[in-house]
Structure 1
């Protein structure tokens, strides 16, 4: 026959065509499909809180002996046995379910103890040929007593094996681990809860069946999510507990930290339920790229297998961290919504249940389990007692029993004669015949007597338990207490009535300002090389009163979003953003944040250091600089806008800047002090301002081998003082205390520029140089290299007199600001702030 031709039907073939209504067929087929999905896949049973595939996995693992005290086995073995014997679906669905029951972030109480890569919130698990598993300890509580006829067994899909219709479930798993699933025409989404809290509520309901929802919520105030986090708003939770439907918002646990000295960051340690850090990071990156989220500089995920969750969101300078965090809650999965829909199967029917109904279903199931278990154990004990009684009867006349057995033709005859002579049942007679002679000793009789007594006591107790509902409920409550004692853990999720922070206003603008306001402030440089700014317009004096360590060697007025300059010994001026500097908290704050090292903000050469701070205001009188070779220069306020650093003086070879000061009026006295104890003062007005490329003019005439050790400025008409410390030039720097002298500044007469000045310190024996000098507003204050204050002499010295021994080496000197001193506060509008001052930059209070 040619290929493609039809084979004719046989002559006796009768074709039958049945007309079927398509709509009826579709309706019937769809209902069968929907029924199968609801009851065999998606909806959990309210009694044990498990879907069929979860139940089959746990049951098969118990059948395989994969208890917590046994070794792990390949997950592929479990998947294969479940699929081959109980669950007629794909291996992928079975393995996915097994993996979820092992994930601590998905289950509040994991039921599978996994070994290997079981995935994460952002990545899937390894294939089942690479992972291993066994039952977790709580899972044994769900399958306990299965061999005691506590639940009905049903046939598997092909009738070859049997499986439990429901597990005994020693704790309310439906609430503890929750569940989610999508069926046909319905869905369930149940939140996890704390095991200890749920058990306490269950025990209360057992003892008080008429308890109200408010009574139960004293024990279960809300869900307890595996990943922790925060639940904001409790109204939706009460609705869910009352009606079975409700919603609540979950928030990540976040705190604001100093990531570096220049920037703050938001550190996320807990995320909303089933939200992974990679998902959050990608969302933030997308928002920043789309310019819908401002203030975020970078997002780094430091989470790994050895470290708990740590997602660091680095913020840009100038943005309020609290406001940025509110925007993150609004725009990213850091705040998520959880909709509760407590749909579960009750007596084979899907129902929406509240908290009390769910607990009542569990209690009813547990009553049935314990009742059936007690009946099974009582029957087993009665059967054993029947055998023991028969054996005791035989032991009373063992000789006659042996004679009867020996004289019988066969075992059947022996059994019948024993039943007739000793009035035994067939079971008892058979048991006597099967008992070895070694069990018929006098000692064994004593054991049998004790066993019979124990069995009668057990039967009486079980009978009392079955006949008294109160005892039955008490037994269930005690078993629940044992479960809680063994497996309860502290609550992880924090419950909040509201967010506790300002919410976002209309049109996406935060109620809290997103960016830091451009408020006036003071920027300060300390003697130990720390930079800081005051918060807002707090007076410099007010900040200074909060600690006793360190000195401020330079301070300039600025605004929070402005820029200032830092002058170095190399004659450079480096531009600084005020926002990058740490802000000292207001004086009302209980702690003092402190400053940050200069090297965190500027790049310096090995032998270069910052001398002072300068304003970049074009209307200022400019800078005054003094070099080690005695050169003085006034720098005109001509600052390039397109450079981050530039030279402000041209230095000769070997020369360096030893002092720099921001002039306030241009009429200050400029002061030089040389190493050979010569002090020269002259008016800044006699020095003509120069451009950035100028090399300056002669300032002080130096003696042979001398160099300048101090250059500064003193406001006219102010009470000032001069401090000098003498010592030996052969000693190592910072090792000798030397002699110190404090002299009123008015003792030194003014002289012309480029002259030699007057002597300011007479050297004693062994002294040949000045180790340190300082001239500024009185009273003066000294500090060691560590910033610890050092007492200075109280008696003023003569202009050319010698000093008194210092208690320890002095590293820096500055003015001591007192509350109410005119012009010393940035809040005093009548006078400009001082160029120098005392300000604490550490965290010790005065």
Structure 2
């Protein structure tokens, strides 16, 4: 509603002027739009290229300008805040410090960009004041800002036009996907979960090489988010929807296990909480719902978390209550299970857009291609300028006496410059450089150095021109740089992805959380968690996931393909059976089949994405790992064990002590470890493959079964520095169906990063030898390769997987027994 025009009372006396009539509606709309524009573009939303909001970008840039590198000492956070506020960010010190703190918190970011010293807060408490904390750039931030001095991005003025700042950072790592983002703008918001750097880089490299790759191809590398605190993600449909449309929801669940906390009382131990949920918040909420009688059966909650042992929240369960039923109540009523709504809103070309996984990667890859192109042009220009000067200097040194004479006979520098340009056909830049030449450079050695520099500059110029002239070469450079970043800063996945909760169904009083012992209401007797002892198969994947098949699912044969991951062990058993996990330390640790989550029924091969890491179900010593899962009944098949030092042993896994949940199955020499364990009857063939590319197979009957305390016998003769990398068993009459897969690489390569070469050949090509001999060569090593890093022998077809369980294509059968391998398209983590 417009106001009426009225003269201002007394304005003539004060000299203020007339009142201007305005339309309130138009004024409010205009002001609100300006405010919304400022919030959306200058504060709340990240740029899709570097994944940073303006305040975050200015903090990292200013810290780089201050020289706060990882190899320098920390400085007061207040000093950083002051520099950023005074030069680049005019919105107040609180906003700057809050952004600085978040970039230093390992529980907020998957890959922190600031290295903080002091109290930077926790999930339950805020940080100390900036005058008490110190900060410097983290190693990951250096690759975010690398190349700013090479004209890789546009520089724009700051708020008062006194300083320049980058419009976007070069961002050699895909920060938006790796660290996620959250922000509330006007009329829109963003909420993006963190991901694993190695997986995102693998997907980005695939998109660089295959610009038309679809979402399914990219999700082979990025199966889901990877949260800083670990935990579990339940249900993958929402993730796929978010990767396709930019919006979706998934549930995060705490990592828990049931333990005996006293001789007669069980407890629920929480070792990982959902994203951004602190132990104090979870403890307080549990206490609230117990007091409100929404959850029954909880006796006490104790927070035993510390810096050394990490998260440990112990929920004591009252006697007579089913721990599994109590846990299901806690999942429904407390932050032990939370929902995360994905809303991938980011700025693209200055406009807010909702992006799926492919669009996010496409924008980032396009940014890196542009950055690399601009950097290459800058370097090419600088080297061409330097080569021009070096050529002029070589001309001057060749006729140095005449050059000196010309300079001495000239009246001034300008005259000398003009005469040098005329006599020696030099440019002005070359003549100026010669006039600034120091006499100590006029030596024969300097001439040799200049000629060497000239050759090096010409070589570098040719390489840079090739990058600019060939799109394939440019993409290869970007891909290689991404691989280097992943190798330097990548870490293993922390969050487990589950297609379903994998929890057993409970009913009756247990499902309702009612008391099941003395004092229970009439009609509510003791109702244990009943699971029928039906046939099942317990599956161990090549990447360490454990699961079991549903009752009506087909039992896969050993080596069968899976829709996610590959199978390493398949144990036909029953749902209530006790199994054994064979470890690298030569122990068998008891494992209940009930602890393995049940995979959903399927008519085809199972998907191991619903499994749980086997390390969460057994207690291991430091450095110990699970190599296989086996049955441990008295009538279980004899188990063959192989060690890295070439020892072979057969032992009955049912030969266990009367008491104890773990026992030794082989006596190992100092420094030796078990590398494989496979059931082997007398009619089977035992196969050993060494890092020296030697394969040996002999009848299992040649290895007589021994007791638990025996140390085995000689299996394969190894060369200096070699070790056994694989134990396989080929069943009687199955030699024609078996294949040998070998992967060669370099010992200097990081695990999981080197692609190497692979060969798949029929097992029938390899002649048998006697036990204790050296075997025959399985693969010829190429230049740069010095050992086999992976091998597998089993039924055809074999399956190779990457770090995230995604399938890696293997070549066709090679009929050459000792031929060389073919290059791998992606690094292989395991074969099964």
Distance 1:295 1:151, change over 3 A: same
Q: 1:469 aligns with which of 468, 471, 477?
A: 471
Residues 342 and 353 in structure 1, CA contact (< 8 A), matched pair in contact too: yes
Measure how far apart 1:13 and its partner are. Answer: 5.2
Pick closer, same or farther for the CA change 1:13–1:75 going to 2, 3 Å. closer
Q: Quick one: distance in 1 between partners of 2:460 and 2:395?
A: 21
Change (3 A) 1:517 1:590: farther
Structure 1 residue corresponding to 2:182, chosen from 170, 180, 186: 180
Q: Distance in 1 between matches of 2:205 and 2:295?
A: 49
Within-5 A mapping of 1:812-823: none
Task: Answer yes or no: is the 8 Å Cα contact 2:506–2:529 preserved in 1.
Answer: no
Pick closer, same or farther for the CA change 1:342–1:536 going to 2, 3 Å. Answer: closer
**Corresponding position of 1:344:** 346
Q: Give distance in 2, aligned partners of 1:230 and 1:283.
A: 20
Q: Is the 8 A contact 2:11 2:18 kept in 1?
A: no
Structure 1 equivalent of residue 117 of structure 2: 115
In structure 2, the partner of 1:422 is 424
Per-residue deviation, residues 149-179 of structure 1 (Å, max 9, x unmatched): 0000001011110100000000111100000
| 1: CA distance, partners of 2:11 / 2:294 | 73
1:504 to partner: Cα distance:
7.9
For the Cα contact (< 8 Å) 2:509–2:516, is it kept in 1? no
Q: Give the SS at the match of 1:266.
A: strand
Q: How far has the Cα of 1:515 moved from its partner?
A: 4.2
- Cα distance, 1:518 vs. partner? 7.5
Say which of 372, 375, 387 aligns to 1:373.
375
| 2:214 alignment partner in structure 1 | 212
Q: Which residue of 1 aligns with 2:155?
A: 153
Contact 2:235 2:501 in 1 (8 A): yes
* Aligned mates of 1:38, 1:399 — CA distance in 2: 67
**1:503–1:510 contact (8 Å) kept in structure 2:** no
* Counterparts of 1:352 and 1:62, CA distance in 2: 31
Q: CA deviation at 1:432?
A: 0.4
Return the match for 2:294 from 286, 292, 295: 292
Q: Aligned equivalents of 1:252 and 1:72: distance in 2?
A: 35
- 2:296–2:513: 8 Å Cα contact kept in structure 1? no
Provide the residue aligned with 2:488 in structure 1.
486
Partners in 2 of 1:314 and 1:265 — Cα distance? 4
| Structure 1 residues 42 and 428: CA distance shift in structure 2, 3 A | same
Aligned-pair CA distance for 1:302:
1.1
Contact 1:327–1:510 (CA under 8 A) maintained in structure 2 = no
Aligned residues: 529
Question: What SS does the aligned partner of 1:169 have?
Answer: coil
Aligned partners of 2:502 and 2:341: how far apart in 1?
22
Contact kept, 8 Å, 2:322 with 2:529, in 1: the verdict is no
SS in 2 for 1:300: strand
Matched, 1:313 2:315: yes
C-alpha distance 134-504 of structure 1, shift in aligned 2 (>3 A) = farther
Any residues of structure 2 matched to 1:707-718 within 5 Å, and which? none
Change (3 A) 1:400 1:357: same
The answer to whether the aligner puts 1:203 opposite 2:239 as a matched pair is no
Residue 274 (structure 1) aligned with residue 237 (structure 2): no
Give the aligned partner of residue 433 of structure 1.
435
Give the alignment's Cα RMSD to 1 decimal.
Answer: 2.8
**Alignment match of 1:189 (pick from 149, 172, 191):** 191
Distance between the aligned counterparts of 2:14 and 2:118, measured in 1?
65
- The match for 2:446 among 431, 434, 444 is 444
Alpha-carbon separation, structure 1, partners of 2:14 and 2:373 = 64
1:44 aligned residue: 46
Q: CA deviation at 1:88?
A: 0.3
Candidates 455, 458, 468, aligned match of 1:456? 458
The residue matched to 2:104 in structure 1 has which SS?
A: coil
For 1:509 and 1:23, how far apart are their aligned partners in 2?
62
Distance 1:393 1:52 in 2: 51
Distance 1:287 1:11, change over 3 A: closer
- State the alpha-carbon separation in 2 of the partners of residues 165 and 484 from structure 1: 25
**In the alignment, which residue of structure 2 is the partner of 1:28?**
30
- Where does residue 408 of structure 1 map in the other structure? 410
Query: Which residue in 2 is equivalent to 1:499?
Result: 501
Q: How far off its partner does 1:307 sit?
A: 2.9
2:65 corresponds to: 63
Distance 2:243 2:151 in 1: 33
| Alignment partner, residue 80 of structure 1 | 82
Q: Deviations over 1:275-317 (max 9, x none)?
A: 0000010011111111221111111111123330110111110
| Cα displacement string for residues 183-217 of structure 1 (whole angstroms, at most 9, x for unaligned residues) | 00000000100000000000011111111111111
> Could you tell which deviates more after superposition, 304-313 or 11-20?
11-20
Q: For the residues of structure 2 that align with 1:64 and 1:504, how far apart are their CA atoms?
A: 60
Q: Give the deviation of 1:19 after TM superposition.
A: 1.9
Are the structure 2 counterparts of residues 253 and 587 from structure 1 closer, same or farther at C-alpha, using a change threshold of 3 Å? closer
1:138, CA displacement in angstroms? 0.5
Q: TM-score, length-normalised on structure 1?
A: 0.60
Question: Is 1:392 equivalent to 2:394 in the alignment?
Answer: yes
Whole-angstrom distance in 2 between the partners of 1:11 and 1:219: 76
What is the TM-score with the length of structure 2 in the denominator?
Answer: 0.61
For 2:294 and 2:458, locate their aligned partners in 1 and report how far apart those are by CA, in whole Å: 78
Separation of aligned partners in 1, 2:434 and 2:387: 14
8 Å Cα contact 1:327/1:504 also seen in 2: no
Q: Do the aligned partners of 1:324 and 1:514 also contact (CA within 8 Å) in 2?
A: no
Which one has the largest radius of gyration? Answer: 1
Q: Is the 8 A contact 2:326 2:513 kept in 1?
A: no
Q: 1:334 aligns with which of 314, 333, 336?
A: 336
Are positions 1:53 and 2:79 aligned together? Answer: no
Q: Residues 622-701 of structure 1 correspond to what in structure 2 (within 5 A)?
A: none
Q: Quick check: 1:135 aligned with 2:148?
A: no
**Does the alignment pair 1:170 with 2:208?**
no
**C-alpha distance in structure 1 between counterparts of 2:152 and 2:290, whole Å:** 59
SS in 2 for 1:117: coil
Deviation at 1:430, TM superposition (A): 0.8
| Residues 479/173 of structure 1: CA separation in 2 closer, same or farther (3 Å cut) | same
1:222 matched to 2:186 = no
- Distance in 1 of aligned mates of 2:264 and 2:106: 37
2:219 and 2:13 map into 1 onto residues whose CA distance is 78
SS in 2 for 1:101: helix
Output the CA distance in 2 between the equivalents of 1:193 and 1:376: 33
SS of 1:413 mapped into structure 2: helix
Question: Secondary structure at 2:48's aligned position in 1?
Answer: coil
What residue is the counterpart of 2:106 in the other structure? 104
Q: What is the alpha-carbon distance in structure 2 between the residues aligned to residue 509 and residue 101 of structure 1?
A: 47
Paired residue secondary structure (2:347):
strand
Long gaps (5+) in structure 1:
1-5, 520-532, 538-585, 594-785, 788-846
